[in-house]
Amino acid sequence: MILEYTKKTEIKRFDIHMDKQLSHEERVIGAVKKALPAVVSIIVSKDFETFKNEIQKLPQGPIPLDQYMNQKEILESVPRTEDGQVKIGGGSGFFIDPSGLVMTNKHVVMDADAEYMVITASNDHFSAEVFARDPINDIAILKLKTDGSAFPIIEIGDSNKIQLGQTVIAIGTALGDFQDTVSTGVVSGLSRFITAITDTEGHSARLHGLIQTDAAINPGNSGGPLVDTDGRAIGVNAAVVFGAQNIGFAIPINKARRDIEDVKKFGRIKKPFLGVRYILVNTNLQNKMNLSTNHGAMVLRENIPLCPGCEPVVPGSPAAKAGIEEGDVILTYNNTQISDKKGLEEMLDQSKIGEEITLKLLRNGTEQNIKVVLEERK
């Protein structure tokens, strides 16, 4: 009797386990059905002559394209859009407002001279313009050129409630070709920071406070939503580690929530502005510059020859008004130490326009505190 009871119990437990698996699968399918109509593909393109002229101006010198192939062969060798433009990139995004506002990554729409085409889940094509770019986070907002059409929007979740091990779903246009690609995984880590390459010229940006996931995030997925099993966007897919397996990153949606609110209310993204260019201090820089500290943000001009506007302290900025100088090391921001794990931009992003902050500076071996009133970034 005991043996028979045990078998029945095991069978019952197995059935319950299968029911839970089916329930989880159904939730994932339901979340995809809910979110997918609001997800779009973004095509970045240029006309051929502009594309050719830019290639010939690359730093390695003019490339005599016509020496190797005629114009017809060149036109046939580059990827093209349906209207004949040269396709130079792409990404994903999602509607955040029925009027046609689309959220994506800033690095997807960095090129001011490019043209942008949005393809909806129903395969409708719309021209779009960059409406706003977040100067701190890798976030941008496109606005579709429409005749008043209403678009399905994604529900915005709360990234502060994310938990390790939670199931997440990444949606986007994988590799720039496979629209509506869906992958699932879990939240593998929280509050990650990375340095990511943002364009073909090798420029990089520090991304902080990221969600790490093992859901497949491929090139082309950038800007697409990371959603929970209720179909709510909890992140914006942003980066993947090449050479590693199942390590991707998304920007928490709460970082983008302020941008959404600003754009709807003010027609632009409002961010506090300090006005310095800097590099983070580490042990190597400490030894090289003979500094008395191994942390902080050292104010330095960018190493770009004849670069207008590359001053270490932007003229007329809050930093300039407060007397910050090239060579100063900003040690703390409102008594919080600046380091590679807690950078200056991250602290600025958490501040408000008009807020008075206290910075501790290291200047010529002497520490001093200064007050700075943050202004809106123009």
Q: Which of 45, 92, 134, 138 is catalytic?
A: 138
C-alpha distances in Å from residue 101, one per residue of 25, 33, 254: 31, 21, 17
For residue 7, name the pLDDT band (cuts at 50, 70, 90).
very low
- Residues sharing a CB contact under 8 Å with residue 82, sequence separation 6 or more, in sequence order: 125
Mean pLDDT is lowest, of 10-19, 98-107, 156-165, for: 10-19
Q: What CATH code would you report for 155-266?
A: 2.40.10.10
> Long-range contacts for 10-15 (Cβ within 8 Å, ≥24 apart)?
none
| 92 in catalytic set | no
| 339 in catalytic set | no
| 138 in catalytic set | yes
Tokens of 17: 């386990």
Which secondary-structure segment (H or E) carries 129? Answer: strand 125-133
Q: Which of 107, 134, 183, 349 is catalytic?
A: 107
Q: Which of 45, 159, 183, 222 is catalytic?
A: 222
pLDDT of residue 20 exceeding 70, the answer is no
Express each pLDDT in 52-79 by its tens digit: 666 655 554 444 545 544 445 555 666 6
Residues of the chain with CATH 2.30.42.10: 272-376
For residue 248, name the pLDDT band (cuts at 50, 70, 90).
confident
Average model confidence (pLDDT) across the chain: 81
Homologous superfamily, domain 272-376: PDZ domain (2.30.42.10)
For residue 349, name the pLDDT band (cuts at 50, 70, 90).
confident
Q: What is the DSSP letter of 161?
A: G
Express each pLDDT in 302-338 by its tens digit: 655 445 556 889 889 999 999 999 999 999 999 999 9
- 37-144 architecture in CATH? Beta Barrel (2.40)
pLDDT greater at residue 129 or residue 82 = 129
Determine the Cα–Cα distance for residues 118 and 44; give it in Å rounded to an integer. 9
Residues of the chain with CATH 2.40.10.10: 37-144, 155-266
In the chain, the N- to C-terminal Cα span, in Å, equals 80
- Residues sharing a CB contact under 8 Å with residue 374, sequence separation 6 or more, in sequence order: 272, 273, 274, 318, 348, 351, 352, 353, 354, 355, 356, 357
Determine the Cα–Cα distance for residues 34 and 232; give it in Å rounded to an integer. 9
Beta strands in 254-339 (DSSP E): 272-273, 278-280, 297-299, 329-333, 336-337
Tokens of 243: 């050479």
pLDDT of residue 193 exceeding 90, the answer is no
For residue 85, name the pLDDT band (cuts at 50, 70, 90).
confident
pLDDT of residue 295 exceeding 70, the answer is yes
Q: What percent of the chain has pLDDT over 90?
A: 35
Determine the Cα–Cα distance for residues 169 and 339; give it in Å rounded to an integer. 32
Determine the Cα–Cα distance for residues 180 and 40; give it in Å rounded to an integer. 8
pLDDT of residue 202 exceeding 90, the answer is no
